[in-house]
């Protein structure tokens, strides 16, 4: 066994069925007296209901969370935080809401409670991606990591099949890159392989029966593990490309990850054979990139960037942006290969 460094993230995790009922207890445990509940516009009524259950420990809601965490939305939220004297934030929902909570915490160091309703996994990380003028940048800080994460399987039973599949494969992407990360270690690799296995088994079952409680539980468990991987090690080409594509062309986050992942893994396969073998073992397949592509098909997810609205003219632009700032990747970053990768993802072709 070679030496390694593993930095555990100090987040409190509450997992199970009906655990959302423990929210008031967790609010009190953190000593919050003026919590602000965050949501997207579509979840505004639900946010109001949650705030009401907290009684005097809530100062209301802010329901403008938006995909890719635009800085202008965060600035509006910060004004509400200041005006109401909020002493903490509660994010209930998917990655948009979680991202807003993290952005507020980065600027204010306020404690956060996150109740995820998708499988994105970002709630387990000290990582924030923000968008300014069509460019998405990433920051890492201990302030960004939520203090408490409440996983309630029951809240995922109504998650639409399409979003279940794409957010689940988005979570798998964290684990895939964690297996070949520069900071990879045995602890992270165990979580990564188990997270991929749990999600890959659960997602097709959810596509067939969205009310399959056992499959929903396995998927949320897998998302938790994959998110913990993302929080423990650095990412590489796949995440860089997805941030570039999402921020530059306003593409939906989970769907973009789902489409790009098989191609990014194929790009790195020769440079990270052990990692690819572990992905294949978790998927029960010999060809891991192709198995990921087929998993997307099995859950009815899109497999072409052009179907998300990305123009063909953006392929070269995306490659240029992705290479603008140096970053670590197991395989050398080559402009021609990266452009070919994006083109295959744009076309929806199987991974090379």
Pairing of strands 58-62, 35-38: parallel
pLDDT at 302 over 90: yes
* Residue 109 CB coordination number (10 Å): 11
Per the DSSP assignment, residues forming a β-bridge with 93 are: 116
Residue pLDDT, tens place only, 125-156: 999 999 988 788 889 999 999 999 999 999 99
The closest of 174, 181, 177 to 6, measured between CA atoms, is 181
* Percent helix, percent strand, percent coil in the chain, to nearest 5: 60, 10, 30
- pLDDT at position 115, please? 96
In the three-class reduction of DSSP (H, G, I as helix; E, B as strand; rest coil), residue 351 is classed as: coil
In the three-class reduction of DSSP (H, G, I as helix; E, B as strand; rest coil), residue 260 is classed as: helix
- pLDDT at position 326, please? 80
pLDDT at 121 over 80: yes
- pLDDT at position 287, please? 97
Residue pLDDT, tens place only, 215-224: 999 999 999 9
| DSSP for residue 146 | -
Can you tell me the mean pLDDT for 162-188?
96
- pLDDT at position 80, please? 98
Beta strands in 84-239 (DSSP E): 88-93, 112-116, 127-132, 135-140, 148-152
Q: What is the mean pLDDT of the chain?
A: 95
Residue pLDDT, tens place only, 1-42: 778 888 888 899 999 999 999 999 999 999 999 999 999 999
**Which helix (DSSP H) or strand (DSSP E) does residue 316 occupy?**
helix 314-322
- Residue the block writes with tokens 């073992």: 281
Backbone angles phi, psi at 284, to 5 degrees: 70, 40
The closest of 83, 85, 147, 137 to 115, measured between CA atoms, is 147
Residue pLDDT, tens place only, 232-278: 999 999 999 998 999 899 999 999 999 999 999 999 999 999 999 99
CATH architecture of the domain 12-156 equals 3-Layer(aba) Sandwich (3.40)
For residue 96, how far is the Cα from the chain centroid?
10
Backbone angles phi, psi at 177, to 5 degrees: -70, -25
So where are the chain's domains?
12-156, 161-347
Which of 5-14, 111-120, 138-147, 303-312 is predicted with the least confidence, judged by mean pLDDT?
5-14
User: Contact at 8 Å (CB) between 137 and 3?
Assistant: no
Domain 161-347, CATH? 1.20.1090.10
């Amino acid at each position: 066994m070679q030496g390694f460094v593993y930095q555990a993230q100090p987040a409190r995790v509450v997992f199970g069925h009906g655990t959302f009922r423990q929210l008031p207890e967790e609010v009190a445990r953190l000593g919050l007296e003026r919590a602000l509940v965050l949501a997207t516009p579509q979840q505004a009524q639900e946010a109001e209901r949650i705030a009401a259950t907290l009684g005097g420990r809530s100062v209301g809601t802010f329901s403008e969370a938006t995909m890719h965490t635009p800085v202008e939305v965060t600035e509006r939220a910060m004004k509400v935080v200041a005006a109401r004297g909020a002493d903490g934030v509660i994010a209930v929902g998917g990655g948009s809401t979680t991202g807003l909570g993290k952005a507020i915490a980065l600027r204010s160091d306020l404690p956060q409670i996150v109740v995820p309703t998708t499988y994105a996994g970002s709630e387990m990380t000290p990582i924030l991606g923000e968008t300014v003028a069509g460019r998405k940048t990433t920051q890492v800080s201990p302030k960004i990591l939520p203090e408490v994460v409440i996983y309630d399987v029951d809240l995922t039973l109504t998650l639409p099949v399409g979003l279940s599949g794409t957010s689940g494969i988005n979570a798998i992407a964290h684990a895939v890159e964690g297996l070949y990360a520069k900071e990879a270690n045995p602890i992270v690799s165990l979580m990564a392989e188990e997270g991929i296995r749990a999600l890959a088994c659960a997602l097709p079952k959810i596509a067939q029966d969205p009310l399959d409680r056992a499959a929903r539980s396995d998927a949320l468990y897998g998302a938790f593990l994959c998110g913990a991987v993302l929080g423990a090690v650095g990412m590489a080409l796949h995440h860089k490309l997805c941030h570039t594509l999402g921020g530059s062309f306003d593409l939906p986050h989970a769907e973009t990850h789902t489409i790009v992942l098989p191609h990014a893994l194929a790009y790195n396969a020769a440079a990270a054979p052990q990692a690819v073998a572990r992905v294949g073992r978790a998927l029960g397949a010999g060809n891991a990139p192709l198995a990921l592509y087929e998993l997307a098909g099995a859950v009815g997810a899109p497999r072409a960037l052009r179907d998300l609205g990305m123009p063909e003219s953006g392929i070269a632009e995306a490659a240029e942006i992705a290479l603008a700032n140096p970053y670590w990747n197991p395989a050398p970053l080559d402009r021609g290969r990266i452009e070919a990768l994006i083109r295959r993802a744009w076309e929806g072709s199987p991974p090379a």
